Chain A
Amino acid sequence: MDSQSMLALGAAIAIAIGAYGGTSAQGKAVAAALEGIARNPAAKSDIQTPMIIGLALIESLVILSFLIAFFLQAKIGA
């Protein structure tokens, strides 16, 4: 396998694992928040804001893996 295809595979695997981990964690967070809202609908606004903050913080690591995939992808043509 030459270095070009290794780079391409590395970029694809980086974003794939990042997206998988991030989405499964986000799914857990949303499930817990929805459960809380279903049990106590009055607390909807109090739960929603921390949930969105948590989702954004989880997403930031996915974005960092996207960044690495992006850098690897830029190296392919060179």
Chain B
Amino acid sequence: MFVAPHIEWAALSPVLILLGAAVIGVLVEAFVPRGSRRLVQVVVAALALGGALVAVTWRWTVVQQDGPSSLVAGALREDAPALLFQAILLILALLALLVIADRARGEDAFTPTASAIPGSEYEGQARRAGLAQTEVFPLTMFAVTGMLVFPAAADLLTMFIALEVLSLPLYLLAGMARRRRLVSQEASLKYFLLGAFSSAFFLMGLALLYGYAGSVHLADIATAVPLVSGMDGLLLAGSALVIIGLLFKVGAVPFHSWTPDVYQGAPTPITGFMAACTKVAAFAALLRFVYVVTPGLGWDLAPFLWIVAILTMVVGTVLAIVQTDMKRTLAYSSVAHAGFLLLGIIALDERGISGILVYLLAYGLATVGAFALVTLVRTKDAEGNLVGEAGHLSEWAGLGRRSPVLAVCFALFLLSFAGIPLTAGFTGKFAVFGAAVAGGDWPLVVIAVLASAAAAFFYVRIIVLMFFTEPATGEDGSATTVVRSEGLTAVAVVVCAVGTVLVGVVPTAVLAVAAQASKFLL
């Protein structure tokens, strides 16, 4: 018998606000004149993100008072970790939105018409007419909606739907770069195909777990673990497959192959957005699944997670060293960071949750900031025309002398990635590694520290390149130039930089808040 579930509208308000904004965005495309469309879209999106952040803060006070609760017949869980992950997501999304909306030199990072064949006459006409693909904003809102549901999802079906809601807009957004459109479209298609592939694994795992426990609720599966015997194969294979589906989203080795290609091909603001926010959302879901369902499995899943974590750290670091493209370097760096974050998952310790929260905040700020700066550094051909972003590392040589502020900010984000003390990255690494040691995984921590040391090499190499190398002019007379942002990107970068320093210098406040999320309550 079907019982209509009770809907807790208040608790759902953050999600509803964003979903509403996304729908309104679609209507804006249809009804608002082209001239003012972009402005309306940006305002709606920004208001929605800000409003959702306020709602999350309000729900935080409610949860502090009344404790966690289940929503919509157990489909969602409203508790401290979920709300904190949502808050981090909204902050990062807001910063990313500023970068997405920025139009340096009057051009945004997106193609005027995504449907035009690259290089066609129609594309040229659209560009000259000044068209803009303002659907970017509702698409982003849909993605953020999915991301918000992801950390709160308390059953596997909801989790899967959230996964798809956040992924589908990203597939589209990845293919909408203004320049190098073929690369962008290829990235989009790859992301879609491999994403679909991994979703299949997730669904397979879901089916196996349903077969094991007779329920898709995480809590029900967890209670079934000590009771049901004789079907361990189903449980283990199911858990492994669900985890694989999530590991694909965080870009862990060997499910990372899409990361460099997609990060490189996607429009850079979108790269920053998905590198930061997708990782936060996916780690939140992974954390919930592992901490709720698998504590009882303990040693059975440990070898698998250990191997994945080690591979992710090592491969991410080693491949980042040999990259020559800025976005690909940052992509592999984000793979390595996924490895470091996995330490907090494996720790299965209360401190792991707060550690991951802090790490994700630090990583997200630096990521949004770094990719925002990448959007501003452009290549100029011999005639002085801008031809696109300066992808190759050598084009960044000597940037410190011409644009000291930009270079210093970029260096700050790199140092935070490297985990140098007094930056947020150090706080995050310290928190996660500390949790892993508390969880007894010290060999992993040793590897992680070694990998961090090796990773510092390529971060510092870029800094050296920017500050201590003469700027180079290409053989064809091309040079590197820095375009002025419209202001929005600058704001995002400054906020990221300030946040990076603050979390690094006075980490106690952030750690104290994160520590309140130290328990997943079933």
Q: Do A and B come from one complex?
A: no
* Residue ranges of A at the interface with B (Cβ–Cβ < 8 Å): none
